[in-house]
Structure 1
C-alpha cells in the first residue's frame, strides 16, 4: 500500500541527502581553505547546521523504509492479537515522544525568530534558519508514527514486518 505521505517522506530524504552533500562541501572548503591560506567565517557552524538538518530530515524517510533498529525480541514472540496491541502501544509512546520533540523544536524556532536570536559564532546567523531543519524533520517523523499507528489500527502489519518477510524469502 502506497502511503499518501510518501512524497513528503521522499522530499525529506532528498533534502537530508542535499544537506549531507552541503556538509561535505563545507568540510572540504574548510580543509582546502587552510591549505590555500584563507578562512571563511562560520564554516564550522554551517557544517554543524547541515549535519543536524540532515539527521532530522532523514528520520521519517528511514523509518518508513524500515531502516530504524527495532528490538522485537519480546513482541515477535507474542500471539498475533497481543502483538498488535503491543505494536499500537509502542506507536502511542513513539507519537508522544516524537510529538513532544516536534512541538518543542517548532517552539524553539518560533522563539529564536521572535527574539532575533543569532549564533554566538563569527557568522551571526539567525538561529531560526538552521533550526528549521530540526523542526521540520521532527514534525514529519511524528507524522510517520501517526501514520504507522493508523495502519496497525486498520489491521496492516508494521512496515518493518514486511521488510523482515522480504529479507527472509
Structure 2
C-alpha cells in the first residue's frame, strides 16, 4: 500500500478560492474551540452555584447544550479541512488511480448533496423558530432561533469546504483521498 496512514490537511495548490475557504474553515475551528471553552466555564459556574451556593440554576444547562451543538456544527468545516472525520481508506488504497479519482468525485458530490439536504432543513427549522418567535420551554425561555442558527451556518460552511475540496480535486491541488501516487 502506498500513502500515509494519517491524512494530511487539505492543500490549496495556490488556488485563491481554496485558500479563502481554508481561512474561513480555520476561523470556524477557532470559533468552535471558543464555544467549547465557554461551555466549560458555564459548566463550572453551574457546579459552583449548585454545590457552593446551594441555589438552583436557570440557564446554564441549556446554554451548555446550545454551545456544544454550535461547536459541533460550526466546527465541521475545520475538521474537514484537517481531514479529521472518520475515514476508512482501505478500499481507495487498493484501487487503481483512475478508479480512486472517480470514487473521490462520487464521495464528494454525494456528501455535498446529503449536507445540502441537511442545511435546507436546518434553515427551515431556524426560519420557523425566527418567524414564529419560538422560545425554549424552560424558565430561561431563550429565543430558539439563536441556537438554531448554528445548524444552517455550520452545514453551509461545511458544504463550502467540501466544494473547495472538490475544486482541489478537479484542479489537481489535492490527490483523491489524500493518497499520493508513487
TM-score (norm 2): 0.84
**1:71 counterpart residue number:** 88
Query: Is the counterpart of residue 100 in structure 1 residue 114 in structure 2?
Result: no
Distance 1:45 1:34 in 2: 15
Which residue does 2:8 correspond to in 1?
none
Check conservation: 1:64, 1:159, Cα contact below 8 A. Answer: no
1:14 alignment partner, one of 23, 30, 50? 30
Please state how far the C-alpha of 1:159 moved relative to its aligned partner.
7.8
Aligned to 2:173: 156
Q: Which has the higher contact order (CA 8 A, sep 6+)?
A: 2
- Please tell me the root mean square deviation across aligned C-alpha atoms, in Å: 1.6
Question: What is the rounded CA distance, in whole Å, between the counterparts of 2:119 and 2:60 in structure 1?
Answer: 27
Q: Does 1:134 align with 2:151?
A: yes
CA displacement at 1:160 relative to structure 2:
5.4
Separation of aligned partners in 2, 1:134 and 1:150: 24
Instruction: Structure 1: state its 5+ residue gaps.
Output: none
2:20 equivalent in structure 1 = 4
Q: Which residue of structure 2 lines up, in the alignment, with residue 60 of structure 1?
A: 77
Pair 159,26 (structure 1): closer, same or farther in 2 beyond 3 Å: farther
Q: Note if contact 2:101-2:176 (Cα within 8 Å) is conserved in structure 1.
A: no
Alignment correspondent of 2:42: 26
Q: 1:85 to 1:121 in 2, by over 3 A?
A: same
- For these two proteins, the number of residue pairs brought into alignment is 163
Q: Which has the higher helix share?
A: 1
| Residues 1:48 and 1:72: Cα distance change in structure 2 (over 3 Å) | same
2:3 maps to what in 1? none
